[in-house]
Structure 1
Amino acid sequence: MKKHTVLLSLTLLLLSFQSKSQFNIQKVTNSFELQNAISKVKAGDVIIMANGIWKDVNIKFIGKGTKENPITLTGETAGKVTIEGASDLKLSGEYLIIKDLHFKNGYTPSSTVIQFGIDSKTFANHSRVTNCVIENFTQPNREVSDHWVELWGRYNQLDHCNLIGKSNFGPTVRVFLKGNEHINNYHKIVYNHFGPRPRKGGPHGETIQIGDSGTSMAPSYTSVANNFFDRCNGEVEIISNKSNYNEFRNNIFFESEGSLVLRHGNYCTIDGNIFIGNEKSEFMGGIRVINTGHWITNNYFYNIKGKGFRSALAVMNGIPKSPLNRYMQVTDVVVANNTFIDCISPFQFSVGVNIDKKDVLPPSEIRSERPERMIMANNLIYNQTPDNYPIVAYDKVDGVLFKNNFTNAINKTDIANTGLVTTDFQINKAADYLYIPTKNQDDVYKGFDFDKIATDLFGTSRKTQNSVGAINLPVKPNTTLINKTLYGTIWFVKEAPVYVTKTHHVTNNNELIKKLKIAHSGDILILKAGVYKLDASLVINKNITIISKDKKRKAELQFEGDKAAFDMHPKGVLYLENIVLKGNKSQCAFASLEKNMSQAFNLFVKNTEISDFKTVLMVYKASFADTISFDNSNIKNCSSGIVLNTETDAGGDYNAEFVYITNSKFDNIESTVLDYYRGGYDESTIGGNLILKNNTFTNCGKAEKSKILIQNQGIVNVDFSNNTFKNNPIDTIAILWGEKGQKPVNNTVINSGEIKIEQNLKQKLMY
């Protein structure tokens, strides 16, 4: 018997070796060898791309593997195979695996970097992209649209990847449902590290979009689980759900300026997600609810300071007989067993309501359908400052049933009645960002189908102990909310080492040019007092500070020629302090590149004198500044001021996210001092921020073409206060947008026209 067993084992082992020997493992060193190997590939084969730089490659990975014997395309050593230049990768077939590749120093020449399909007829099923990195692989022109990963077909998976730094138009990851071959797809997007993604300055900057308006009623069954969304700030929608039956589980949204948005589609599950904000930003949100049948359970919200569309839980009104691309009514939604810690008014209902604008909007834009058959139950709300209202409603909330929600805040509205219980309870800090109550609130509402909320945030069963909120006590010792090692690749260094800033002392023209060129990002150039005559632009393509050594004796930079004094390049950050800038009336003091501004720049000007330039700041189309700041500066004798008006396509884009003009003097600016423009309007895409405060404007706007001194057309958030306008020969200082709460505060106007408020600003809707 033993002999027969041994013989059988040896036979099986031999057959195993024979089977494996049939598989081909081939190493390739160039594009020709790679495509030749792919053309001959069969189930179980492995193609290894040699270490090194693969530049300008367009890979079409086609093959038919099996579940037991997939076909693999991999790098020789994880992190040592980089795909650069104008490159992309498309896969088509069955049971394909791509892993250990690093896309960097380039951009896709097509519409995607990695695509689970080659054309409309050939796509991938049961395939996987894993352990790969796409890093700053962004288009030179920010207006060019692409997607870094497109999922087509069925049963495909994106996992343990890092996708970092997309700054151009288009979602980072896009799931398509166009055709029966792509619905009911059961894709998995799991254990990835998304971000940081910088602010884009308009719509179409999502990190993940599942479906679109046209296919939003189709079933997708896509799972987005256990991902880390790290400072994903592209736009107001981090995830844009636009299809049915998707699941969003156990994801972490860390300091991301936006929300998980159920934009279209029905019957989604949002369970066990963690939303972490901070005190510095009012743009970090939670979940925005539209449509039918969603279950929102076991989610944890910490320090979410967003309001309206970006509140911790934003529930919208619908449009009667809404087209697919607008807003459906919220019905049959359950929000249960969630915890909200230090969130400003976490429950906000009828967000974006505009039923009072029937005389302004067409019927297709009037959001009057309130939520119906919605249940808010067993949620826990805690605020260190209990005077924060737990509920804000912009319309009646008569279609929402509140049951057994507990808060330490005083409910100062008549909403929720007995369904929102104010009680004195305490919380303790268990770990970074994690605060748990000292005891369970076990007065739980047992609603219909609530037994399917079987576990809490940490997977603890609710059968024996069920408590209000996302967390059941006791919590296991050493429980943490964030473990970054779980997400993305193992080999990719996610955070650069801390750089120690160096100081460079500059005494003359040549030293300034030379040391600016060799300086590392983050360095400081200290200029000795004196005159620096320059006939070429100073290029700012890194983070640099230029400052005078002696505040009382400022270094003076005199610029000749017709080029900009400072050329702001992608990723350029300039801190300019205690400097005198003089032009010759023919150039800009600061200007972006006219094209290929692939990423944002930043400009901070403080205690600086600027005079005799044609334009103070010129930003060209498709250029974007995250922050522009002029503080305590004196700007005079220029033809025009700060020009941020080139996004005129009515697509909702604009040239700068934050514009701060504070404590400064503007004298003899011949035309408009500030032209900050946003063309096109989608109310869910919140953007454009202007602080105009404590400034003095004198003798500005005298050019015949000047119609307005401060132009902020379409900008949503404006602080217009404590300014003085004296002897400016214009009729209109500014037109503020009354609907957005904009109003002038404590401004002094002497012989300078008027500040107007227009309640319903005429804006071209994007839809």
Structure 2
Amino acid sequence: MLLRTALTLAITAAAAHPALARDILVADQTQFKAAVKAAKAGDSILLADGEWRDFQAVLSGEGRTDKPITLTAQTKGKVVLTGQSNLRLSGRHLVVSGLIFRDGFSPTSEVISFRRDSRSFAQDSRITEVVIDGYSKTDRRAEDMWVALYGTGNRVDHSHFEGKTNAGVTLAVIRRAGQPLDNRHRIDHNYFGPRPPLGSNGGETIRIGTSEESLSASNTIVERNIFDRTSGEVEIVSVKSGGNILRENLVLSSQGAFVLRHGNGNRVERNIFFGNNVPDSGGVRIINRDQTVRDNYFEGLAGKDLKSAISVMNGVPNSVINRYHQVSGAVIEHNSIVGSARITFAAGADAERSAPPIDSRFSHNLIAGANGSDPFRVDGDIAGIALAGNVEAKVAKPLLTSGVEQRDVALVRAPNGLLYPTDPTLANVGAPRDLVPVKREEAGVSWYRSAAAEAAFGAGRTIPLTAAASLAEAVTTSRPGDTLALASGAYDVLAPIAIRHRLTIAGQKGANPILRLATGGLARVEAGGGLKLERVEIDARAARTDAVLVAIGADVAPNYSIAMHGVTVRGPGAKARIDGITMAPGTFADAIDITGSRFTDLAGAVVLGTAEQTPKGWYPVERLTIADSHFTRVGMVADLLRKGSDESTFGPWFAMTESQVTDSGADDASLRLSGVQHTAITGNDFTRSAPVTLIHSVGTPDTRITKNRFIATPEPRIEELAYKGPVRAKLSDNIVEARP
């Protein structure tokens, strides 16, 4: 009642004295709407501390440069928008600050939108000190954007964005015909925190425009932001317009690169990339006309090909708007590329991408490859790239000699944390000495740090159980990170047990616990769950057809992990087809790890990952690892599918080492991998089994099948769906024997 009275008095006073700015404290959505309707230039609307659930807020109004209309929290960090909430802005000179979006997801395609509807945009407005943390739709295929910038002259700064796991750009500049295209937005001093791989195209952190309007200029500035483990897909920042500036940003341990995908005349300057040797960590990829990449620092980037520290692409002759325009007039100068795996020229050259870079310059760059190697790779004609004044730390057999001087280069770390040559004659080569990395306290908000990540496997309590205890009840009462330590004996599992947090079920040291399944189902991993099994035996001989040992539920929010270490599984054989681990569409595993385990008489697949059938490139698991394990009379060791031909993802990764497969195989394969990007099958024995089958459908797959024995088993079959050329795989030191 007091708040309602205060609101009425504040609105009345503001109407009587329009020149006076007022702070209007509101306690519910009805009061908020009334306050917005009455707000004048200079007024501040304060949301009362607490949780605002299912709050679809609209802030409209006409402020002034010196007197904006402000929406803020009564206390910064103590106003949380939850459930199905979002925010839309329209008008001029609006400022929003101090809010948190958490524990829910937007009911629409945008969490924060700089427009109210298709005709009402925000201009000269600002989002500052706002947090969006894990506010993701539960089905990763359901797309939305966390921040959608429409209009002109808007700013997003000093905000915190972390944990997006569903499809859609974290922050996008939207440019469409009939809407303002000369945007002049500013995106600065934000913290873009960890974004795990999406497992499909559409996981960019920032995108500026789309291909349709890419030949016009947006003139957006992205500066002094931190990109920390932003690994949603291969494009961390996707530039699809012209005239943009990306400068003085700090990129940390992130897979992917800044990609000048469409549009001309962009500048990438004074950015700092620390890859920390994370796989697929990249720098800048260059496409189109008149791009400038200068004064940047790249260290410890492990990416290759299109994810190199510097990648200059081949184009498509007479390219349509959404393919690859030829590189022309690129200037790449005064960059330092140290401890990095690749610099690739004419990247992606093939029968379609046959237009080489022209009228371009690569000059005064400092190069020191990882572990003393030569990082240069050339995939096509580079006569159109003039090389001059570059210095490379001496290698035994340099690929490029003209315009790249080989020298002994000693590097020392300067006070700014970057490596520079000690030789004073190299002062004009490489990145400038006055670079200043963005500090964590400069980016994001000072009053917010995300909640600690869910407890890792084994990080919680250890709870001993005997066979007399109910395993299902113990799981229900457990907490994240706990370990249920089982004594010897049989534990009857009458129905699949729901796993809702990260949990370990392990045999006590020296014990022999047996999980005896009534129907064949052991566990169902639900939202927030993850399961590790250690030193247990699973008796599934009573299983019914179509049972699943560990099923991933359709509503599981990514990303989860499954591990089986020292696990023995006995199935019913041919009388009932059951699978081991199955993944529902829309779910995504960071990792599935099977080590030191045995599987016998499973008529299905031990790992079944074929539920994603859309051609966009969705796949169910980033890394599937099998080591030192035995598979006898199983339908397939793994059946993993990634459809489509999009090149915007990192995985899947598959590795199988030192394992034995005997009398196994269904559907003409004992192991089937389709669309997998990285495959390593090494040191295994396949006996009296169907062949290993691999289908290459996308990108430049890295396939290595080495030091295996195929006994009374056909040699591996590899198929290229689109690539016209010899099979892209390394097969070496394998032994194929006719009989055991």
TM-score by length of 2: 0.90
2:298 pairs with 1:301 = yes
Moved more, 606-615 or 333-342: 606-615
Contact 2:154 / 2:185 at 8 angstroms: preserved in 1? yes
Structure 1 residues 269-291: Cα deviation after superposition (integer angstroms, max 9, x where no partner): 10111111123x32111111111
Contact 2:341 / 2:370 at 8 angstroms: preserved in 1? no
2:418 pairs with 1:434 = yes
Letter of the aligned partner of 1:603 in structure 2?
I
Aligned partners of 1:436, 1:524: CA distance in 2, in Å?
48
Aligned partners of 1:429, 1:383: CA distance in 2, in Å?
16
Change (3 A) 1:751 1:382: closer
- Alpha-carbon distance, 1:440 to partner: 3.1
Letter of the aligned partner of 1:686 in structure 2?
F
2:370 pairs with 1:370 = no
Contact 1:331 / 1:372 at 8 angstroms: preserved in 2? yes
Moved more, 495-504 or 326-335: 495-504
Aligned ranges for residues 56-455 of structure 1 at < 5 Å?
A: 56-279=54-277, 281-345=278-342, 347-355=343-351, 366-383=352-369, 385-386=371-372, 388-410=373-395, 412-413=397-398, 415-417=400-402, 419-430=403-414, 434-442=418-426
Aligned partners of 2:655, 2:178: CA distance in 1, in Å?
50
Which sections of structure 1, spanning at least 5 residues, go unmatched? 1-17, 356-365, 443-465
Change (3 A) 1:441 1:610: farther
Contact 1:675 / 1:711 at 8 angstroms: preserved in 2? yes
Matched residue, 2:509: 550
Aligned partners of 2:453, 2:528: CA distance in 1, in Å?
18
Change (3 A) 1:559 1:761: farther
Contact 2:133 / 2:450 at 8 angstroms: preserved in 1? no
Contact 1:509 / 1:534 at 8 angstroms: preserved in 2? no
Matched residue, 2:680: 719
Change (3 A) 1:380 1:411: farther
Contact 1:276 / 1:433 at 8 angstroms: preserved in 2? no
Aligned partners of 1:409, 1:762: CA distance in 2, in Å?
36
- Alpha-carbon distance, 1:434 to partner: 2.4
Contact 2:596 / 2:628 at 8 angstroms: preserved in 1? yes
2:533 pairs with 1:569 = no
Change (3 A) 1:282 1:490: same
Contact 1:606 / 1:632 at 8 angstroms: preserved in 2? yes
Contact 2:366 / 2:430 at 8 angstroms: preserved in 1? yes
Q: Secondary structure at the match of 1:37?
A: helix
Matched residue, 2:571: 612
User: How many residues are matched?
Assistant: 695
- Alpha-carbon distance, 1:295 to partner: 1.1
Letter of the aligned partner of 2:550 in structure 1?
F
Contact 1:397 / 1:415 at 8 angstroms: preserved in 2? no
Letter of the aligned partner of 2:411 in structure 1?
I
2:713 pairs with 1:752 = yes
Change (3 A) 1:508 1:77: farther
- Alpha-carbon distance, 1:199 to partner: 1.2
Which sections of structure 2, spanning at least 5 residues, go unmatched? 1-15, 573-577, 725-740
Change (3 A) 1:736 1:180: closer
Structure 1 residues 551-580: Cα deviation after superposition (integer angstroms, max 9, x where no partner): 4x3321112236x31212234232221111
Contact 1:161 / 1:489 at 8 angstroms: preserved in 2? yes
- Alpha-carbon distance, 1:526 to partner: 1.9
Moved more, 568-577 or 264-273: 568-577
Matched residue, 2:449: 493
Aligned ranges for residues 614-633 of structure 1 at < 5 Å?
A: 614-633=578-597
- Alpha-carbon distance, 1:413 to partner: 4.2
- Alpha-carbon distance, 1:481 to partner: 3.5
Matched residue, 2:543: 585
Matched residue, 1:652: 617
- Alpha-carbon distance, 1:24 to partner: 2.9
Matched residue, 2:32: 34
The sequence identity of aligned pairs, in percent, is 30
Q: Secondary structure at the match of 1:533?
A: strand
656, 666, 685: which one aligns with 2:649: 685
Aligned partners of 2:80, 2:47: CA distance in 1, in Å?
10
Aligned partners of 2:298, 2:47: CA distance in 1, in Å?
44
Change (3 A) 1:385 1:746: closer
510, 514, 523: which one aligns with 2:482: 523
Structure 1 residues 386-442: Cα deviation after superposition (integer angstroms, max 9, x where no partner): 2x113111112111111111121327345351x111111211233585222223334
Change (3 A) 1:391 1:753: closer
Matched residue, 1:46: 44
Letter of the aligned partner of 2:549 in structure 1?
A
Matched residue, 1:15: none
Change (3 A) 1:498 1:645: closer
Letter of the aligned partner of 1:527 in structure 2?
L
Structure 1 residues 202-225: Cα deviation after superposition (integer angstroms, max 9, x where no partner): 110000111011111121001110
- Alpha-carbon distance, 1:685 to partner: 3.3
Structure 1 residues 219-277: Cα deviation after superposition (integer angstroms, max 9, x where no partner): 10011101000100111111110000000011011001110011111111101111111
Matched residue, 1:662: 627
Matched residue, 1:449: none
Contact 2:676 / 2:701 at 8 angstroms: preserved in 1? no
Contact 2:87 / 2:113 at 8 angstroms: preserved in 1? yes
Aligned partners of 1:690, 1:528: CA distance in 2, in Å?
34
Contact 1:142 / 1:622 at 8 angstroms: preserved in 2? yes
Letter of the aligned partner of 1:380 in structure 2?
L
- Alpha-carbon distance, 1:639 to partner: 2.2
Q: Secondary structure at the match of 1:385?
A: helix
Contact 2:330 / 2:361 at 8 angstroms: preserved in 1? yes
Aligned partners of 2:399, 2:557: CA distance in 1, in Å?
51
Contact 2:665 / 2:671 at 8 angstroms: preserved in 1? no
Matched residue, 1:510: 469
Q: Secondary structure at the match of 1:370?
A: coil
Letter of the aligned partner of 1:685 in structure 2?
T
Change (3 A) 1:77 1:169: same
- Alpha-carbon distance, 1:182 to partner: 2.0
Contact 1:629 / 1:660 at 8 angstroms: preserved in 2? yes
Moved more, 105-114 or 480-489: 480-489
Letter of the aligned partner of 1:404 in structure 2?
G
Contact 2:308 / 2:341 at 8 angstroms: preserved in 1? yes
Aligned partners of 1:577, 1:497: CA distance in 2, in Å?
23
Contact 1:288 / 1:314 at 8 angstroms: preserved in 2? yes
2:561 pairs with 1:602 = yes
Aligned partners of 1:411, 1:390: CA distance in 2, in Å?
12
Change (3 A) 1:498 1:321: closer
601, 622, 637: which one aligns with 1:637: 601
Letter of the aligned partner of 1:485 in structure 2?
E
Pick the structure with more strand per residue.
Answer: 2
- Alpha-carbon distance, 1:667 to partner: 1.0
Aligned partners of 1:700, 1:494: CA distance in 2, in Å?
47
Contact 1:26 / 1:37 at 8 angstroms: preserved in 2? yes
Contact 2:628 / 2:658 at 8 angstroms: preserved in 1? yes
Structure 1 residues 611-635: Cα deviation after superposition (integer angstroms, max 9, x where no partner): 2271101111111111111111101
Aligned partners of 2:96, 2:548: CA distance in 1, in Å?
49
Change (3 A) 1:617 1:70: same
Aligned partners of 2:532, 2:282: CA distance in 1, in Å?
30
TM-score by length of 1: 0.87
